[in-house]
Amino acid sequence: VRRGDARDQPGPCPTTLCVWRSLPHLTVPHLTLGGSLFTASYVARHLARVRGVLSALHGPASLPALLKAHGFNEALFYEAVGGLHAAGRLAGALQAKTSFTPAVHRLAQAAAVGARYEQNGVVEYAALARMGVRDPRAHLAAEHPGGVELDSCYMSAALVSTAEAGVEEALSGAGAADLRSAFDCDLTDADLVAFAAASASLSAAVAAKRYLPLTASLLVAAPLAAELKERAEALAAEVAKAEHA
């Protein structure tokens, strides 16, 4: 009795099961799963089909959708997917019975992130989190050592130095600098605070009170700050004098 040759039906063949049960003395390699019996040859063919379908994927896929589209036996399908993944024969991220993301997709995304970092000098942690990277900060620090960890992104030392020079130039000229304007990318207030703290020259100047941070993005040189304070006090005095006149 060759149970698995039942014309590759996705489920067990009732006729074969009846014959099998009537001949308990027969010894045929088989698998019992979900109350059904499957021969080893049928399971092997099913396994090869499942592996072929999943190996051909280039992006995330819904397992229920694959099950329906290819007419797999449900019990064997999930058993095969879990077994292949556990054995290392199916590289990727498996989310229980919901989805599978092949490793090639993650590698392509990682390459894209690396290219973005090399080109722009900054990568958002959220971009890596969407790829399934558990610790984006540690990952970027390991892949691109020497960068600066800001609040929401990782920035190259070269970009930090360029922005630092622009801020210093603005402060020495106009006496004030908008840190946000020193970058082409969108940064949060927390990013700007982290940038100023990571800059040795800016943080030293702030500590020495040569520069005064009025907001997260606005730095003012001490002479200009003193001048503005003097003008504000003079204006307040004139207003008070007018009110009492």
pLDDT for the residue 31: 62
Q: Which residues of the chain have pLDDT under 70?
A: 1-35
pLDDT, tens only, 180-202 = 999 988 999 999 999 999 999 99
Cα 11 to the center of its chain, rounded Å: 39
What are residue 101's DSSP bridge partners? 93
pLDDT, tens only, 28-55 = 455 666 667 778 888 888 889 999 998 8
pLDDT for the residue 204: 92
The CA distance from 10 to 67, in Å, is 11
In 3D, which of 145, 149, 147, 155 has the Cα closest to residue 123? 155
DSSP one-letter code for 101: E
Cβ atoms of 81 and 100 closer than 8 Å: yes
pLDDT for the residue 30: 52
pLDDT for the residue 173: 77
Residues in Cβ contact with 144 at an 8 Å cutoff, skipping those fewer than 6 apart: 114, 117, 154, 156
User: What is the amino acid identity at position 236?
Assistant: A
pLDDT for the residue 224: 85
pLDDT for the residue 172: 85
Q: What six digits make up the tokens of 134?
A: 């558990």
In 3D, which of 239, 241, 235, 161 has the Cα closest to residue 202? 161
pTM over 0.85: no
Cβ atoms of 3 and 38 closer than 8 Å: yes
What are residue 213's DSSP bridge partners? 219
Secondary-structure breakdown of the chain: helix, strand, coil percentages, each rounded to the nearest 5? 60, 15, 25
